[in-house]
Structure 1
Amino acid sequence: MAFLGADISKNKIDVCLLVAGIKGKKKQKVFTNEPCVARKIIDWLEAQKCASDNMTVVMEATGIYHENLAYGLHDAGISVCMANPYRVREFACGMDILTKNDTVDAFVLACYGELKHPDAWVPPSVEVRKLRALLRQRDALKEDVQRTANRLEKAHSTSTPREVIASLERTHGWLSDELGRIEKLITDHTDNDPGLKADLELLKSIKCVKEQVGREMLALLKDGTFKSASQVAAYLGIIPVERVSGSSVRGRAHMSKTGPSIVRAKLYVAALSAIRWNKPAKAIYERLVAKGKAKKAALGAVMRKLVHMCFGVLKTRLPWDENYAATA
């Protein structure tokens, strides 16, 4: 098995090919990050006498810039692995590689694949990808609407020319209309797809998980990447991170906050409601507060509990039962 490390940025992709292990010869090349980049890399691999069925490409998810390569390679039948950037960096330090640049990072990714053999990446379905794109567009429009509303409020509070106010009003009106249109597209997309609709109903059976959180968790959990609820919580950055060593280091545990902040913020709002109306979540919150935990730390535990509930209903295909005796 040969491993190819691919360090991806907006404009270019640095690759490093290991044919005979870490200590063997390595081959490196730089490609332009463009829609046809997967085909170019495959042609280069064939020129290096590497069979596609004996090749694994290791990369990190870099926003959206990895998608051209990841989907192109997967569609061509080449195994793709998505590595956790934090773990790859720690892996590099463990190999005494302290330098960080694109060429070195590609080599580190190839070594990571050679030694760790991460699981193959399975892309989400077309329906889930569309839902995710619509959700991100909605969130961006909501920010734009709020930003324009704030500018309009300030304009009314000062001696702003009428032409500027009129421009802001038109912009705010158009953005609000577009936001409504995207909201309808999201609703239609989930309602018209039987699988997504059934999954969303299961998620909404959880008390305090409504449309927004339900759709966010649906887009996340249907990705197929996660094998357990704990992995989902770790990805979202809502797991506690301790800092304790010996007798001198006694740092307070804090939430890791390494995942997407948008989803985490919506889970936080859902947790605020859950500590009042969701029996298991309320019990966890009250128990932790009674033990002296900070209220925000207890809310973090409630957020994790909601993630476990969401994962559970999709895995069991059973609606949520608040009287089900489960430990936190």
Structure 2
Amino acid sequence: MMFIGIDISKEKIDLSWLRDQLTNKIKTKVFKNKHQDFLAIEKWLLNTTKSAANELVITLEPTGVYHGALMYFLHEQGFNIILANPGKAKKYADALNIIHKTDKSDATMLAHYGCAKHAVVSYWQPDALEVRELKALIRRLDALESNRQREANRDEIKQLKSDIDNHIDNEPDLKRNRKLLESIPGIGPVLSRELTYLFAAKKFNKAKEAAAYCGLIPRHNESGKLKGRTSISKLGPARIRCKLYMAAIVAGQWNKTIKRHKLTLINNGKTPMQAVCANMRKLIHICFGVIKNQEAFKLQES
């Protein structure tokens, strides 16, 4: 296998071919980040390495909206793609003692990362078309709701919500999962839209993986005024945490399971905010459970 690292920004794409792992010989090339250059990138990869697409492992990191188009293109051409976790890639770069950080060095680091990890990680696979369409609709809705001109966007927001609901209703798996999520007291239409997409797009094996993705795992503070206190990590999508916060408030009043959990925490000395954060995490655990088991939520009587 041949290993390529790609660093992608808004304007350009840096490629680094790891020609020799022992001597660290590399060959690099820079292209513009434009669709019309994708065929040239494919040609360079094949001609330079003298290899077939399925013999190349291409490693890149998610970079907002800039990496998606090239990643889908390369996958369609038969290349093996590793979408590296930025945190793990950074730790790997630290281990390599990379001092001077440039786009070229980042691409080379990713080539090394792919070489070291390709046997133990899964190659990236694109989401199903209906999940990609749902993602696009939800991202558009989030952009409109975050815009300062929200009032002017009111009609478009209303239409987008209707489009999202119709899209989910027209896909049996998405429709069933949304119904399961809304069987949980505290999970309403707003949050169920987000979580329907989340559990369709992300293949979590355990409930704690879903909680970690949403930034809800406990983090122990070791410095400053908060030393000794526990907070949540706040990694991952803030928009989901924001909606989960409101859901946890509602569930703390109307969901008997969540309400008992909240009261137990407060009686054990936790602050109201700590109790809410714990309930956000418990809600995600419950959501994972109903999706995994494909069973509606059932209240556990005390």
TM-score (norm 1): 0.83
1:125 to 118, 121, 128: 128
Give yes or no for the alignment of 1:31 onto 2:34. no
CA distance, structure 1, for counterparts of residue 135 and residue 32 of structure 2? 26
Give the superposition deviation at 1:268: 0.9
Superposition deviation, residue 272 in structure 1: 0.9
Q: Report if the CA contact (8 A) 1:39-1:72 is conserved.
A: no
Equivalent-residue separation in structure 2 for 1:50 and 1:129 (angstroms): 31
Say whether 1:9 aligns with 2:9: yes
Partner residue in 1 for 2:46 = 46
1:89-238 paired onto structure 2 within 5 Å? 89-117=90-118, 118-144=121-147, 147=149, 149=151, 172=152, 175-238=153-216
Give aligned-pair identity as a percent.
39
The structure with more radius of gyration: 1
Secondary structure of 2:35's counterpart equals coil
Q: In the alignment, is the contact (CA less than 8 A) between 2:144 and 2:150 conserved in 1? A: no
Residues 171-204 of structure 1: per-residue CA shift (max 9 Å, x gap): x3xx222222112111211112222111111111
**AA of the residue aligned to 2:261:** I
Partner of 1:265: 242
Aligned to 1:160: none
Query: What's the C-alpha RMSD, in Å, of the aligned pairs?
Result: 2.2
Q: Secondary structure at the match of 1:73?
A: helix
Which structure 2 residue ranges, 5 or more long, are not aligned? none
1:106 positional shift = 1.0
Q: Is the 8 A contact 1:123 1:224 kept in 2?
A: no
Deviation (angstroms), 1:284? 2.5
C-alpha distance after superposition, 1:142-178 (max 9, x if no partner): 233x6455xxxxxxxxxxxxxxxxxxxxxx3xx2222
1:297 matches 2:300: no
Asked if the contact 2:174–2:200 (Cα under 8 Å) also holds between the matched residues in 1, the reply is no
Superposed CA deviations along residues 31-80 of structure 1, whole A, max 9, x for unmatched, are 21122444332211211213221222111111111111111112222221
**For 2:264, what is the secondary structure of its paired residue?**
helix
Indicate the SS of the match to 1:27.
Answer: strand
Contact 2:92/2:113 (CA < 8 Å) preserved in 1? yes
Q: 2:296 aligns with which of 319, 324, 327?
A: 319
SS at match of 1:3: strand
Contact in 2 for aligned 1:122/1:225 (Cα 8 Å): no
**Aligned amino acid, residue 8 of structure 2:** I
Query: Which residue identity lines up with residue 16 of structure 1 in the other structure?
Result: S
* Alpha carbons 1:7, 1:105 under 8 Å: kept: yes
Change (3 A) 1:257 1:99: farther
Deviations 1:234-254 (A, max 9, x none): 222121222449xxx954232
CA distance in 2, matches of 1:53, 1:26: 20
